[in-house]
Structure formats: structure tokens, C-alpha cells
């Protein structure tokens, strides 16, 4: 039961958005959900019979059936106290401009699995650049979630611990209190939204899962994600992750390793990435890997994950040869330049700031 019931709008009706809205409603908060195209909420509304309501059926780590409000447009955000941004990175520059004018200074905005310093963009551009709301940045998502034939969303696990930071940094305690009130005691306070930006291990893990399995993805084959995190793929993940950790250290920050993330997200003993992946697969035999090459594991996590980390490495003055090679391989395989697809780097004018300037700007 929620100690203080809040009205929370979840932006995005994919697996993560549905899981987040379901969790909130499951624990007695008034949850609303918005799909930019309307496709993500159409089946939820059909089950509820319309009238601005939707029903989410969810299975897995959390199970049930809850009713939520369906937002028809960003104008409806006026009725909510908290906004959770839960759509993929490659939708940021397309969808957020529809939302930014509707965000007010009274809102608390939570960015789930924040990539590429999008919390900074939200903070600086909300309310046509005048609102300056409190923005909480999560290093990852509340839960692992996927589409399912058995329910609207299959919740693989609810994460035990993950990082949250705030902009302005001076309001970090208020951001932490809000997150804990809505989602429980699972948050560790990070010193900067830059730390939560570097905390995301999805770009690391997904590169090591997708690149060695591109032919499986292209051919639409069934393959288990963690079964195919073989020792060779795991070594690739660990090498990219070591460079991510080095970037954080060079910027005076500390973030969790991929192995520690697996321990906290999938509840397996700490070991090598290959051993942990094998343990997850032996226990769960899930999830299946992508059955298409046109998947966020590459389309989101290359430009908004690894390309962003590569930019931070330039800012910190260090080389990341394995990470850079992974990006170049993905560009060659897809016939496109992922290094030019992250518009946030240009919109935020991040290049050339230097470590001190970047950290100061992230403080708000």
C-alpha cells in the first residue's frame, strides 16, 4: 500500500513503460500512461472499454491486472504531480519536444534508464526553458521487461538496487525521497546525473550480445540471450565495461560494474560475466534475444550509449579502443554512421566542455 498516494504519468507504453505503470498501480498509486503514437495503449483501452481508461495485465516477478488512466495528449500532464519518462533513447529528440512545453516547475520528472544526459536537456528545456523542474535520473530501469503473448508485459525482475541522481544536485534528497515513496527502498544516491548516465550497462551488455549474434537476429531465429553470452562474448562485454569504468574514474566518478549489475538485477552470485550469464540461463531459460536486426539493442544502445561514452572518453582525454571498435563494426554491419545519430550531443553542445565544465553543468 502506498504511504502517500500520488498521481504519476508514465510516458511510453512499451514493455518498460507498461511495467512501470503496472508497478505504480499495483502499489496503489494513480498511474496514467501515454503512448506518443497511441499504438501502445490501444489494446489496454480495448480491454477497459475506452472512456480514458486502460487495463494492464502483467506476469512474472509481479503479477496482476490493474486499471490505469490513458493520456490522450501531453496536455493531460497538468493533472499529474510526477512524470516518468520511459521510452527508448532513439525516441528522445522526436518525442520529448512534444512534452517539454507541458512540464511545469512543480513537476518532478523521473527519467528511467537515462541515456546521453537527457535529464540535463529536460531540465534546461522544460517549459520552453523557464520551468527548471526537479529531474531525477535513474542509472537503469525499474524492471527488466519484455513483450509477451501471455500478458501485456512480462516482468523478468524488479531490480534490487540502482543509482539515482538529481538536477539540480542541491535537491538530490527530495528526488531520492520521491523515488523511494513511489518505488520503495531500492535507490542509492549518486553524486551527479553524469554518474547515472555512465551507470547504464545496457549499451555494454547489448553490444556483446548483439554483435556476435547479428546473423541470428537477421534470420529471425530463436536464441537465448544469456545462453549466447558465451565466454568469448562475455570477454568482449568485460573489455568494453572496463573502458566504461575507466571513463567514470577519469571524471572523478564511481559506477557499478556489469557483473555487479547482474548480481543486483538477476539475483545470482558475483562471478565472471560468463559464469553469471550461465547461471541466469540455467535458472530462467529466458529471455529470448532479438529476432530482428532492427532492434533497440543496436539502434538505441549504439548511438545513445556507446557513442555517448566515446564522447565522454574524448572529454576525459582517454582512449577506449574496444568500445570504438564495437561502434565501428556496428556502423559497417548496418551501413550507417551511428556516431552521427545521437542528436543530443549536438543539442546539448557537450563537445569541448572539458571535465570540470561538464560536471558543473550537470549540477544545475
Q: Is residue 327 part of a domain?
A: yes
User: What SS3 class is residue 173?
Assistant: helix
Report whether pLDDT(221) > 50. yes
Contact present, 123 and 364 (Cβ < 8 Å): yes
Whether 173 and 35 share a structural domain: yes
Q: Domain check: are 27 and 143 in the same one?
A: yes
pLDDT at 4 over 80: no
Query: Where residue 20 falls among pLDDT bands split at 50, 70, 90?
Result: very high
* One domain, residues 166 and 216: no
144 SS3 class: strand
Could you tell me the pLDDT band of residue 1, with boundaries at 50, 70 and 90? very low
pLDDT tens across 87-106, in order?
989 899 899 999 999 999 99
DSSP string for residues in 82-118: EEEE-S-GGGHHHHHHHHGGG--TT-EEEETT--TTH
Q: For residue 110, which of 181, 38, 36 has the smallest C-alpha distance? A: 181
Q: For residues 212 and 156, state if they share a domain.
A: no
**pLDDT above 70: residue 354:** yes
Q: Say if residue 139 is in the same domain as residue 215.
A: no
pLDDT category at 2 given cuts 50, 70, 90 is low
Residue 232: its pLDDT value, please?
98
- Inform me whether the pLDDT recorded for 50 exceeds 80: no
Q: What is the CATH number of the domain that holds 330?
A: 1.10.1040.10
What are 251-307's pLDDT values in tens digits?
999 999 999 999 988 999 999 999 999 999 999 888 899 999 999 999 999 999 999
Do residue 153 and residue 281 come from a single domain?
A: no
Per DSSP bridges, beta strands 162-167 and 153-158 are: unpaired
CA dihedral sign, ordered 324, 330, 335, 339: negative
Residue 79 has pLDDT above 70, yes or no: yes
Is the residue at 27 inside a domain?
Answer: yes
276 in any annotated domain: yes
**Residue 2 lies inside a defined structural domain of this protein:** no
Shared domain check, 311 and 191: no
Backbone angles phi, psi at 269, to 5 degrees: -65, 145
Interval 91-147: pLDDT, tens: 998 999 999 999 999 999 999 999 999 999 999 999 999 999 999 999 999 999 998
pLDDT, greater one: 67 or 51: 67
Q: Provide the pLDDT for residue 51.
A: 82
Percent of all residues in the chain with a pLDDT value above 90, rounded to a whole number: 91
Question: What strands, in cross-sheet order, belong to the sheet with 187-189?
Answer: 143-146, 153-158, 53-60, 64-70, 30-34, 7-11, 82-85, 108-111, 134-138, 162-167, 187-189
Task: Report the sign of the C-alpha dihedral through residues 23, 261, 34, 192, in that order.
Answer: positive
* φ/ψ of residue 184, rounded to 5: 90, 180
Span 25-40, mean pLDDT?
A: 96
Query: How many independent structural domains does the chain possess?
Result: 2
Counting residues of the chain whose pLDDT is more than 70, the rounded percentage is: 99
Measured distance CA(57)–CA(44) in Å, rounded: 9
pLDDT in tens, 229-256: 999 999 999 999 999 999 999 999 999 9
On average, the pLDDT of the chain sits at 95
Domain that holds residue 209: 199-363
On whether both 183 and 217 belong to a single domain, the answer is no
The enclosing H or E element of 196 equals helix 193-199
**155 close to 144: Cβ distance less than 8 angstroms:** yes
Partnered with residue 75 across adjacent β-strands are none
Average pLDDT over residues 221-227: 97
Q: What CATH number corresponds to the domain at position 104? A: 3.40.50.720
What is residue 149's predicted lDDT score, i.e. its pLDDT? 87
Pick the last residue of a domain from 144, 167, 197.
Answer: 197
157 in the same domain as 65: yes
Radius of gyration over every alpha carbon of the chain, rounded to an integer in angstroms: 19
Average pLDDT over residues 202-227: 97
CA distance 165 to 138: 7
Which of 197, 213, 231 terminates a domain? The answer is 197
Residue 45 is assigned to a structural domain of this protein: yes
Does a structural domain hold residue 262? yes
Q: Which of 152, 182, 197 is the last residue of a domain?
A: 197
325 and 223, same structural domain? yes
- For residue 223, CA distances in Å to 214, 290, 325 come to 11, 8, 25
3-state secondary structure of 153: strand
Examine residue 63 and state whether it is found in any structural domain, yes or no.
yes
C-alpha cell at 19: 511495467
Same domain membership, residue 126 and residue 106: yes
* Residue at grid coordinates 481508461: 53
Q: Is residue 340 part of a domain?
A: yes
Is pLDDT above 70 for 207? yes
57 shares its domain with 181:
yes
Amino acid at each position: 500500500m502506498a504511504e502517500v498516494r500520488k498521481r504519476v504519468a508514465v510516458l511510453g507504453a512499451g514493455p518498460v513503460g507498461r511495467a512501470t505503470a503496472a508497478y505504480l498501480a499495483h502499489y496503489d498509486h494513480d498511474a496514467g500512461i501515454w503512448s506518443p503514437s497511441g499504438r501502445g495503449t490501444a489494446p489496454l483501452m480495448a480491454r477497459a472499454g475506452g472512456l480514458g481508461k486502460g487495463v494492464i495485465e502483467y506476469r512474472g516477478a509481479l503479477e496482476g491486472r490493474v486499471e490505469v488512466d490513458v493520456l490522450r495528449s501531453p496536455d493531460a500532464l497538468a493533472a499529474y504531480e510526477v512524470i516518468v519518462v520511459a521510452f527508448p533513447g532513439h525516441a528522445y529528440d522526436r518525442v520529448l519536444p512534444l512534452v517539454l512545453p507541458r512540464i511545469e516547475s512543480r513537476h518532478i520528472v523521473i527519467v528511467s534508464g537515462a541515456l546521453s544526459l537527457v535529464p540535463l536537456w529536460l531540465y534546461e528545456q522544460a517549459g520552453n526553458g523557464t520551468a527548471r523542474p526537479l529531474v531525477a535520473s535513474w542509472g537503469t530501469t525499474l524492471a527488466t521487461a519484455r513483450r509477451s503473448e501471455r500478458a501485456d508485459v512480462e516482468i523478468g525482475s524488479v531490480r534490487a538496487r540502482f543509482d539515482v541522481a538529481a538536477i539540480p544536485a542541491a535537491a538530490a534528497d527530495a528526488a531520492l525521497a520521491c523515488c523511494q515513496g513511489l518505488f520503495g527502498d531500492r535507490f542509492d544516491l549518486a553524486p551527479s546525473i553524469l554518474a547515472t548516465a555512465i551507470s547504464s550497462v545496457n549499451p555494454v551488455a547489448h553490444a556483446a550480445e548483439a554483435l556476435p549474434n547479428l546473423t541470428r537476429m537477421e534470420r529471425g531465429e530463436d536464441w537465448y540471450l544469456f545462453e549466447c553470452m558465451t565466454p568469448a562474448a562475455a570477454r568482449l562485454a568485460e573489455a568494453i565495461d572496463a573502458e566504461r569504468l575507466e571513463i567514470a574514474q577519469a571524471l572523478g566518478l564511481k559506477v557499478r560494474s556489469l557483473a555487479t549489475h547482474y548480481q543486483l538485477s538477476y539475483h545470482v552470485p558475483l562471478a565472471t560475466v560468463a559464469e553469471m550469464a550461465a547461471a541466469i540461463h540455467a535458472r530462467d531459460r529466458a529471455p529470448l534475444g532479438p529476432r530482428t536486426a532492427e532492434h533497440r539493442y543496436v539502434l538505441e544502445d549504439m548511438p545513445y550509449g556507446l557513442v555517448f561514452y566515446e564522447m565522454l572518453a574524448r572529454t576525459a582525454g582517454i582512449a577506449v579502443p574496444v568500445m570504438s571498435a564495437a561502434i565501428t563494426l556496428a556502423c559497417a554491419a548496418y551501413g550507417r554512421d551511428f556516431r552521427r545519430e545521437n542528436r543530443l550531443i549536438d543539442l546539448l553542445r557537450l563537445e569541448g566542455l572539458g571535465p570540470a565544465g561538464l560536471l558543473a553543468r550537470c549540477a544545475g
